[in-house]
Chain A
Amino acid sequence: MLGPTVRVQREPFDPGAELNAFLSQTPHAGGIAVFVGQMRDFRGADRASGEPVSAMSLEHYPGMAERELSALVADAQSRWRLDGVCVIHRTGDLAPADPIVFVAAASAHRADALEACAFLIDWLKTKAPFWKKETTGAGPRWVEATSADDARAARWDK
């Protein structure tokens, strides 16, 4: 297989174009799983009751962010049989509906691809050094980590 792709970038990316590029590199895979995280325009449980969010900025730890993502990819490759992996993460200023993160995993069969993709995004959210700051009517505010994210990541402990 081609080496995995790990990118941390300020520039916006197009998830459709990234998926097509990934597919072109994994012609022998039978199943490809993809997760796209994009910026919400609200804070809280749902859009109807949530406080509107107009902008977001993403800070990261240059160097360690790339290292952590590469380590997560290597871990996924040791757990599942993968034909390809791609992880892309934005930094800097974002607007609502901007893609933040793109995770793709390809395998001979769907189970490995789906599980690897879920593992990668669950662990990314608790290990990769990125921090979101949301701007609401009350001003900018750091997003706080949730125990639900920790619980999802813990499912993959071994």
Chain B
Amino acid sequence: MSVITVLYFASVKEKVGVGQEQVSPPAGISTVNDLMDWLATRSDGHAKAFASRAMIKTAVDQTHVPPSSPLGNATEVAFFPPVTGG
């Protein structure tokens, strides 16, 4: 799989410790959920960020998607808490 830009926002970003990283997931990572499982192994911060999975919203290439969605040819995947604008 090619390189994916992963973005984190708000409380998720604070837990992970960075707002953005480039990753090359290994073979077998085919859905957003798979990617979260794999990212969670990268550091204690990642593990903490992905511990309460129900509180994480996901977007692929800037479109909201459920975590069961396939990654396909995604170039940008984002993880963030429920939005609170307005």
Chain A residues in the interface with B (C-beta under 8 A): 37, 58-61, 63-64, 67-68, 89, 100-101, 121, 124-133, 142-145
Contacts and interface: CB of A to CB of B under 8 A. Distances in A.
Considering the complex of A and B, which 7 residue pairs feature the smallest CB-CB distances, nearest first? A130-B85, A145-B82, A131-B10, A64-B62, A125-B86, A143-B84, A132-B84
A129 B86 contact: no
Contacts of B11: 131, 142
B9 A59 contact: yes
Contacts of A61: 7, 9, 59, 62, 78, 80
Nearest to A67: B62
B86 A131 contact: no
A145 B85 contact: no
Interface string B49-86: 00000000001001110000000000000101111111
A127 B83 contact: yes
Contacts of A101: 85-86
Interface centre among A64, A89, A125 (most CB of B within 10 A): A64
Contact of A58 (B7, B62, B81, B85): B85
A67 B62 CA distance: 8
A143 to B, nearest CB: 4
B9 A128 contact: no
25 contacts: A61-B7, A61-B9, A61-B78, A63-B62, A68-B64, A101-B85, A101-B86, A124-B86, A125-B83, A125-B86, A127-B83, A128-B83, A129-B9, A129-B78, A129-B83, A131-B9, A131-B10, A131-B11, A131-B81, A131-B84, A133-B10, A142-B11, A142-B84, A144-B81, A145-B83
